[in-house]
Structure 1
Amino acid sequence: MILNNKIAALPLLIVIGLFILCGSTPQVYAIAIEEQVTIVFTSGMAEILLDRGQGGLGQLQTLLQSLRTHKKNVIFLHGGNALSPGILSMNDRGAHMITILNDLNPAAMALSKSEFAHQEDNLSLRTFEAGFPLINCNIYDPLTQGTIEGIYPHHLLQVGNMKIGVLAVVDPEVVSDYLTQRILAKNINTAVTRNTKILRDKGADIVILIADLNMDNFNANFSNPPVDIVLLDNLAGTPDFTQQGNSLFELKGHEGHAAVIDLDIVKNDSQTRWTATAKFVALNDYPIDPEIEKKITMYLGQIGDILHEKIGTTWTPLDTSRKAVRSGENAFANFTADTLREYYQADIALINGGSFRANKFYPAGSTLTSGDLLKELPFHNQAVKLKVSGKMLKLILENGLSRINEQKGRFPHISGIEVTYIPNNPPMQRVRSIHIKGKPVEPETFYTLVTLDFLANGGDGYEVLINAKRIVTVGKTRLLWEYVKNQIVKEETISPIIDGRMQALHP
């Protein structure tokens, strides 16, 4: 809870998975008014093709219906990361997700970085299909100096006798990470302060901020946030629900989970106070709502039998969890990079860790399907062949390693070269050596590199690739997952391994 300086914080009791919080904000009322409000907060779940035992939108609907039946005021707030990546998002740019979310009836949905995966125009189209407001206050269109068309900077809810304001911010790196076409980011603190004041002026008793930031980024932007409750949406890490301060919640790695926060609010002639009890809920503990299941089955039917098409077997275990593909060399990423390099006869191949999205473990002996690859590599990436110097190659790798401790999607997966690096060195000073065919890479020698058009255009901080000479844009009718599928079909059985091509040193 974030308190006005005039009001002292109430004691806080912390129990694993359960938080008791108290708070207050200044208001003026003649008599005391009480209200009970339940907030359901989650994000992600853009993938509707779920593995056995995984919780998703169908179970979330069951949870919401149960709470709405037994509690007076239930507010469902969605933290974003819902429109991409997903097995159907490649085709409809997230339209199916809006249709399903309309049935779940969120009070508001925040924009997170992945909402920009299909660019601003498609995002605006989704807002017109939505029966709920999509909100963000720190991204703007410089042509109009306003929000993106269809996006609201904040939202005010009338909940019983209380007014609850909701606003949201997204990590400003969305502009470079997703190669947005015409948006810029405002200072987060300034945007939140301004919109909180607007909500207070409209009579908000409590203001909630949804932030697509991890705890470190949040603390770097705020020392004393002007809001009352903060909901941090952090997809990194294992599922967890943590708290810092009095009203700051962080959901980590929470695909298939939701937070349920019960607020008991009292406002009188001098202030508004609340007590909150919060818990972290695993959605797979709930049955699937039949209507949502019917809708998901209909959508999956659009891509037919391809989902279950068996294409081969892996004789080695594969781990595509978020941490595994964003913090070090990875067996399946090696196989993917090798496939691309060999197909286009390039000296080097480069793929970013953010390309892999299934977040899944495949035991040795697993049968692989086309559906597995669609979930792993769900983006419309085309191949681009470039010429890069050895000097440029070092800068490329330094960028890929610059955010390794944050598990950013830019981590470089390579083929054709061997790299040693020191992860604890300062950013842009981590590459120790680069070898190709056993010999050091020469700074002035040029090499052919095949990569993804997203990276070649400067995505994920790879701006240095913009200046590389393009030999040809290849694979215009083939997506990355199709190259991998064809190679698996050709080999029938694969045995990807970590072979030391990206070796971390700890001197």
Structure 2
Amino acid sequence: MKHKSLFNRVLLLLAPVFLLLTASVSAEPTKLTFLHFNDIYQLSGVKGNGGFAELSTLIKAEKARSPNTVVTFGGDLISPSIMSGLSKGTEMIALMNAVGTDIAVLGNHEFDFGPEVTAERISESTFPWLGTNIFDGAGNVALGAQSAMIMEVGGFKVGFFGILTPETVFLSQPGKDIRFGDVVGTANAAVKALTESGAEIIIALTHLDLAKDEDLTEQVEGLHAVLAGHDHVAATFVKNDVPVMQSGADGIYLGVLDLDVEWIESRGKKRLSVLPSWKMVATRGVTPDPEIKAIIDNYEAALDKELSVPIGKTAILLDSTRGTVRSTEAAIGSLISDAMRAEVKADIGFTNGGGIRGDRLYDPGTVLTRKDILTELPFGNVTVLLELSGADVKEMLETGVSKVEDVAGRFGQVSGVAFTYDKALPSGARITEVTVGGAPLEMDKIYTVATNDYIADGGDGYAVLKGKKQLIDASGGTLMATTVMNYIRDMDGINKVPGGRITEK
């Protein structure tokens, strides 16, 4: 692929004006290389693995090996992280631009700060974002994303389309005007359009459950590769003659997919031969690209200064590990719910354990900083105040324990309410006892509930909360992280968090 700017290499955005291209001629046997990564949330990686500077080194090395390369990204970038809680992901776009990303598909986390921020981040990118099945109210591809593209790579016309999981409606905050098209139906239409427009090789960039990627290989004719994201799996396999690659998460690996492509003529007929090979290259121990590392160092120095301010000392153990906050009463979850309830003077405080992201232990005596709180609450959610009937409160609690055996993020952390549940009972009918403020829950009584704007809009399966009366909506709410910081300061640290809120039979 000629090393010009991406948009000089783009032949087609599926607009009629570009259909006047001259017919493709037979190409010589060629190796096309796709350098793929996905689901990256940190500038410097995690625990010595990953990082944009290390990825850049590997990308440059692979480009030197194979000149016909395309750098692809499988979605989930601008959130969650400590920094994005403040910046809404501007630094992540800057690094993606700097490492030479060629094309990307939107992930669910691109919508964590709402569709307006999604559009801003897309506009800041020097590479195109694909959103083939993401539509606005008028039925157009939304927010400045592209439906599909064709690039000339090594003399071949390579077509790309991008599919995002429709579950983004529940996983993030795309807004009421964004609609997600059917995965397989949209993919088939995209392949047809790309083929009719001259594409010889067709690549699906996806952000789906891996099982859905497999479905694409079975139900969509004409695919040559699926470059995926979402499940944080580092794996490549071939199914139905289509290679599927996903490169883990956090830049721990760079996936390298080579396609040896050749037009073969036999008995007057031509057919395209595509032979895949691949490898996963670890970033651990790789020498960082100094130019990229300098950019990262500048961002992190500014962040450290901003976040090193102490908030207060904890006298008790706080456990925010994933398995704890998503399956049982956790002191840190109770603390966050207490802070939210106190902020808006609600009867009940409630938040989903999946929104607590630090995944660590704070020993007694630890001095918590701004950085700690923003690590725990990186999504930029705000506290809203709802009115719910007792019946709605019970359904909310049922939702929280409906997938507890799966350690699902919807597990509820609570304040002002205590309940008992039995996970041996059917999902939706597991709550056996509920009290609010020490009194039995009354099904017809109206209660005020402090929660986050994400689940208040139906996220994480909380359909019961969507459309309920909001006494304080997202536009008037306070950032959850700010609420928790203020609460810890006002309490002069964390000395005690009362328990006995969630009991499993």
Do both proteins adopt the same fold according to a TM-score greater than 0.5, normalized to the shorter chain?
yes
- The counterpart of 1:48, out of the listed 38, 43, 52, is 43
Answer yes or no: is the 8 Å Cα contact 1:120–1:148 preserved in 2.
Answer: no
With over 3 angstroms needed to count, the CA separation of the structure-2 counterparts of 1:279 and 1:332, relative to structure 1, is farther
1:437-489 Cα shifts (integer Å, max 9, x gaps): 56542322333321123333444443433454444569947421123223444
- The answer as to 2:368 corresponding to 1:368 is yes
State the Cα RMSD in Å. 3.3
Q: Separation in 2 of the partners of 1:253 and 1:429? A: 36
Equivalent position of 2:11 in the other structure: none
Equivalent position of 1:414 in the other structure: 414
Q: Separation in 2 of the partners of 1:188 and 1:422? A: 36
With over 3 angstroms needed to count, the CA separation of the structure-2 counterparts of 1:220 and 1:207, relative to structure 1, is closer
1:155-201 Cα shifts (integer Å, max 9, x gaps): 22222133322211111122344151411111111110011112222
Q: Separation in 2 of the partners of 1:153 and 1:475? A: 32
The code of the aligned residue for 1:153 comes to S
Answer yes or no: is the 8 Å Cα contact 1:214–1:234 preserved in 2.
Answer: yes
With over 3 angstroms needed to count, the CA separation of the structure-2 counterparts of 1:363 and 1:48, relative to structure 1, is same
* Percentage of matched positions with identical amino acids: 28
Matches within 5 A, 1:301-316: 301-303=301-303, 305-314=305-314, 315-316=316-317
Equivalent position of 1:319 in the other structure: 320
With over 3 angstroms needed to count, the CA separation of the structure-2 counterparts of 1:319 and 1:273, relative to structure 1, is farther
Q: Separation in 2 of the partners of 1:438 and 1:252? A: 49
- The counterpart of 1:69, out of the listed 61, 64, 71, is 64
1:321-378 Cα shifts (integer Å, max 9, x gaps): 4x554455444223211332344443321112342234x3236355532112222212
The code of the aligned residue for 1:381 comes to N
Equivalent position of 1:206 in the other structure: 201
Equivalent position of 1:298 in the other structure: 298
The code of the aligned residue for 1:393 comes to V
The code of the aligned residue for 1:234 comes to H
Equivalent position of 2:224 in the other structure: 228
The code of the aligned residue for 1:139 comes to I
Q: Separation in 1 of the partners of 2:125 and 2:473? A: 36
Equivalent position of 1:183 in the other structure: 178
The code of the aligned residue for 2:154 comes to G
Equivalent position of 2:338 in the other structure: 338
- The answer as to 2:173 corresponding to 1:172 is no
With over 3 angstroms needed to count, the CA separation of the structure-2 counterparts of 1:29 and 1:103, relative to structure 1, is closer
With over 3 angstroms needed to count, the CA separation of the structure-2 counterparts of 1:363 and 1:312, relative to structure 1, is same
Q: Unaligned 5+ residue runs, structure 2?
A: 1-22
CA displacement at 1:61 relative to structure 2: 1.2
With over 3 angstroms needed to count, the CA separation of the structure-2 counterparts of 1:364 and 1:278, relative to structure 1, is farther
Equivalent position of 1:15 in the other structure: none
Equivalent position of 1:479 in the other structure: 479
The worse-fitting range, judged by mean Cα deviation, of 222-231 and 403-412 is 403-412
TM-score, normalised to structure 1, is: 0.81
- The answer as to 2:147 corresponding to 1:148 is no
With over 3 angstroms needed to count, the CA separation of the structure-2 counterparts of 1:121 and 1:261, relative to structure 1, is same
Equivalent position of 1:163 in the other structure: 157
- The answer as to 2:264 corresponding to 1:268 is yes
Equivalent position of 1:138 in the other structure: 133
- The counterpart of 2:246, out of the listed 237, 251, 266, is 251
The code of the aligned residue for 1:140 comes to F
Q: Separation in 1 of the partners of 2:336 and 2:421? A: 21
Answer yes or no: is the 8 Å Cα contact 1:76–1:106 preserved in 2.
Answer: yes
3-state SS of 1:284 partner: coil
Q: Separation in 2 of the partners of 1:220 and 1:92? A: 37
CA displacement at 1:43 relative to structure 2: 1.7
Q: Separation in 1 of the partners of 2:234 and 2:422? A: 29
- The answer as to 2:238 corresponding to 1:241 is no
Equivalent position of 1:120 in the other structure: 115
Equivalent position of 1:24 in the other structure: none
CA displacement at 1:391 relative to structure 2: 0.6
Answer yes or no: is the 8 Å Cα contact 2:101–2:127 preserved in 1.
Answer: yes
Answer yes or no: is the 8 Å Cα contact 2:133–2:163 preserved in 1.
Answer: yes
1:39-91 Cα shifts (integer Å, max 9, x gaps): 22112323336555242212211211221223322221111211223334344
Q: Separation in 2 of the partners of 1:425 and 1:192? A: 39
Q: Separation in 2 of the partners of 1:207 and 1:248? A: 12
| Alignment coverage as a number of residue pairs | 472
The code of the aligned residue for 2:136 comes to D
The code of the aligned residue for 1:199 comes to L
With over 3 angstroms needed to count, the CA separation of the structure-2 counterparts of 1:221 and 1:392, relative to structure 1, is farther
Answer yes or no: is the 8 Å Cα contact 1:214–1:232 preserved in 2.
Answer: no
Q: Separation in 2 of the partners of 1:351 and 1:250? A: 35
Equivalent position of 2:98 in the other structure: 103
Q: Separation in 2 of the partners of 1:277 and 1:327? A: 41
Equivalent position of 2:17 in the other structure: none
CA displacement at 1:495 relative to structure 2: 7.2
The worse-fitting range, judged by mean Cα deviation, of 245-254 and 262-271 is 245-254
Q: Separation in 2 of the partners of 1:220 and 1:394? A: 37
- The counterpart of 1:89, out of the listed 68, 84, 92, is 84
3-state SS of 2:454 partner: helix
TM-score, normalised to structure 2, is: 0.82
The code of the aligned residue for 2:285 comes to D
The worse-fitting range, judged by mean Cα deviation, of 36-45 and 244-253 is 244-253
CA displacement at 1:501 relative to structure 2: 3.6
Answer yes or no: is the 8 Å Cα contact 1:256–1:284 preserved in 2.
Answer: no
